Structure 1
Amino acid sequence: MKDWWIKLGCYLTGYNYSIVKSSSEASAKAVKKFASALLIISMVWCFIGYEFTSHYLHGSTLTSIIGAIIMVVMVIQIERQIILTIGKSRSVKRFRIIIGIVMAIIGSVIIDQVMFKDDIERERITVDQEKVNKAMIFKTKEINDQIAQLDTSIARKERERMKAIAEITKNPTITAYNTQTQTKADSNGRMVTVGRTMTTQSMPNPKIEMLAQLDGQIKTLHDLKVAKENSLLTIRATVEKEVKENKPFLEELSILFKILMSSPIAFVVWALIFTFFFSIELFVLYCKFGDDKNDYDRTIMHQMQIRMQMIDKLNQ
């Protein structure tokens, strides 16, 4: 069990297991200490990655798990930059502190959004109502304009229909003239006209067929108008549903910031969470540079010096 824990620690930290195995207990304890710190940080950021992917990226359970794994891998790789650093570099310390501040702010904000979920939802009701009222003005005007256009089209078709009815009433039938030409061949074989016969035929007014088409078009326009009028009755429910389903990340940040600025207790809670995250982010940094070099670091340095000497001799 002891070797298994050391192997896991070496896998997480990037330490060479064979060197740690041959080193003193101090090196093994350092690996265990770094591994414990990485596990604590990884569990916290695993939760943050899952919540962020699920809540703001609207991912499924599988997608949220993948997002959590990606976040854990990123955090471990960042911490390795500190753990695998040989010596005490001030630039590395400053860079890690800056990253720690940024990550602590991001982590504390996401955790606060989970903790203050009920307060955010309460504030969101007011914000959503304002958005619904603004959207209602635009949506209602748009539908009313469409209804007005349909009324205009219906009125135009009605006038065409009344005109067609008037013409049909006046002339229910029309007379069609058919002219037949009689020809015969002359002595040269050419066809010449010898007479014309004109016949008349009474037939229904073509406006009757056009009247049926106009009735169908008017019915279609009336159905569209009824549908638009019905949509006015349900438009508020539709807009409210769209607004509730859309939860932008920046909007929730604005609501959270408003809560923190208006409530001293909420701000104190956020400050405590930020301090906790910042302390966790600097935990590995403190473990690395707070202790003296162990024999593992000295072994790595010794191997590097030997390799450098060999390279110098080859160059000579």
Structure 2
Amino acid sequence: MKSLKEIGCSLIGWNPAILKECGEASQRQFRKLLSAICIMMVLWGTIGYCFAERYIGIESIPFKLLVVVAFMFIILCVERVIILTVGKARLMTVMRVMMALCMAVLGSCIFDQIIFSNDIQQTIQERREEKIISTIDKRLSVYDTDIKRINAAIDSISKVNDALYRELEAKPTTTITTVSTSQQVAGIDANGKPIKTNVQSVNKTVVPNPRAEQAKGNEEQLKIYNAQLDELRNDKKNIDKTVREDFSKRPTGFIEELEATLAVVSQSPVSLTFYIILFMFLTFLELFVLTIKTGDSKCDYELIVEHQLELKKNVMLNTENTLKK
């Protein structure tokens, strides 16, 4: 029993030696504070476990327990600040009330997401269905634009090729004329030197019409465009399945679940009433230690601590006055 009391004193920050000299009022105050601390630690340990599992995505039990310990340690330190305050601290009281409201909102949201999990999942599915339909419409618009653009390009190239084929049908070949100049000896002058003259020779070569290569290149481009067109049409046909698979692979985010929670809570008076009750319950729990600390009359433990503080102040003042003399 003695060791348990020492553990309790360690939790709330009380001195077991001073508590031992106190009366029943301090013993009861000690038990009330310890009970409130234990309730808060269990509550926030549970919230920490749910938070680690649902939002951090921790699957390992030891790591979940580490998060639980961290949450419990944080709430213990917060409550010890209130418990170990000597005298009145109005600003700290106001801050603790505000913190209690914030923590109650956080806790009630997490608990609501567990309690209303089926309704929340249904709401998430409905919201995702709306997003799926919107995404499908947007992608269909993009596909239609791309298909229209490729069809226009195909029509343009086809018209050019039709003109080329008509030209090739009328003139399948073309003649290339090559003119070359060479010098030939035409005779010898009076001095015995050769007389050279320029002779031009004309060569005509019949070759295929070069428009045929242009038409061939256009045909290759048409094959590429037709392949792209077939791919776009196939993707457009499977757009519903593709978008649904993409959305099914997305994990549920915190904001998405929070929005669904607010929608579930606000759409029904029953769920809203339950949320308010849960919020008030958590708020009162958060203020448990504060009300015990500020609401009750001072016990002899607190009187002893304040008396020791006054004695220390007087000793320091007397020492200071002595040094001045």
So what's the TM-score if we normalise by structure 1?
0.74
Q: Give unpaired runs (5+ residues) of structure 1.
A: 185-191
Paired letter, 1:233: K
Q: Secondary structure at the match of 1:88?
A: coil
Q: Secondary structure at the match of 2:219?
A: helix
Match of 1:24 in 2: 19
Q: By how many angstroms is 1:53 displaced?
A: 5.9
Using the aligned pairs only, state the percent identity: 23
Match of 1:153 in 2: 153
Paired letter, 2:308: H
**1:237–1:8 distance in 2 versus 1, CA, 3 Å:** farther
2:290 to 265, 285, 288: 285
Deviation track 1:34-88 (CA, whole Å, cap 9, x = no partner) reads: 5654454344334434544654x564547x8476666555434433331231123
Deviation track 1:232-283 (CA, whole Å, cap 9, x = no partner) reads: 2222233344555375655544543443344343234323322331232112
Report if aligned partners of 1:82, 1:285 keep a CA contact under 8 Å in 2: yes
Match of 1:271 in 2: 276
Q: By how many angstroms is 1:294 displaced?
A: 5.2
Tell me the distance in 1 between the aligned counterparts of 2:118 and 2:282.
23
Q: Pairwise mapping of residues 84-163 of structure 1 onto structure 2 (< 5 A)?
A: 84-163=84-163
CA RMSD after TM alignment: 3.9
Match of 1:236 in 2: 240
Report if aligned partners of 1:23, 1:296 keep a CA contact under 8 Å in 2: no
Match of 2:170 in 1: 170
1:222 to 214, 226, 235: 226
Deviation track 1:188-240 (CA, whole Å, cap 9, x = no partner) reads: xxxx9944443333333333333333222212212222222222222223334
1:206 to 188, 210, 215: 210
Q: Give unpaired runs (5+ residues) of structure 2.
A: 185-195
Q: Secondary structure at the match of 2:206?
A: strand
So what's the TM-score if we normalise by structure 2?
0.72
Report if aligned partners of 2:9, 2:16 keep a CA contact under 8 Å in 1: no
Deviation track 1:161-202 (CA, whole Å, cap 9, x = no partner) reads: 323333333333333333434479xxxxxxx99444433333
Tell me the distance in 1 between the aligned counterparts of 2:220 and 2:126.
47
**1:283–1:165 distance in 2 versus 1, CA, 3 Å:** same
Tell me the distance in 1 between the aligned counterparts of 2:82 and 2:259.
34
Report if aligned partners of 2:29, 2:299 keep a CA contact under 8 Å in 1: no
Paired letter, 1:283: F
Q: By how many angstroms is 1:131 displaced?
A: 3.2
Q: By how many angstroms is 1:309 displaced?
A: 4.0
Paired letter, 2:175: T
Report if aligned partners of 2:143, 2:232 keep a CA contact under 8 Å in 1: yes
Q: By how many angstroms is 1:132 displaced?
A: 3.0
Q: Secondary structure at the match of 1:140?
A: helix
Tell me the distance in 1 between the aligned counterparts of 2:237 and 2:318.
86
Report if aligned partners of 1:6, 1:32 keep a CA contact under 8 Å in 2: no
Q: Secondary structure at the match of 1:24?
A: helix
Q: Secondary structure at the match of 1:176?
A: strand
Tell me the distance in 2 between the aligned counterparts of 1:5 and 1:181.
123
**Deviating more after overlay: 103-112 vs 203-212:** 203-212
Count, aligned residues: 302
Bigger Cα Rg: 2
Deviation track 1:98-119 (CA, whole Å, cap 9, x = no partner) reads: 2212211221122112210111
**1:99–1:177 distance in 2 versus 1, CA, 3 Å:** same
Tell me the distance in 1 between the aligned counterparts of 2:210 and 2:297.
103
Paired letter, 1:239: V
Tell me the distance in 1 between the aligned counterparts of 2:303 and 2:219.
93
**1:208–1:308 distance in 2 versus 1, CA, 3 Å:** farther
Paired letter, 1:271: I
Tell me the distance in 2 between the aligned counterparts of 1:266 and 1:46.
25
Tell me the distance in 1 between the aligned counterparts of 2:211 and 2:68.
72
**1:48–1:241 distance in 2 versus 1, CA, 3 Å:** farther
Tell me the distance in 2 between the aligned counterparts of 1:295 and 1:275.
31
Match of 2:319 in 1: 313
Q: Secondary structure at the match of 1:110?
A: helix
Report if aligned partners of 1:100, 1:282 keep a CA contact under 8 Å in 2: yes
Q: By how many angstroms is 1:130 displaced?
A: 3.1
Q: By how many angstroms is 1:152 displaced?
A: 0.7
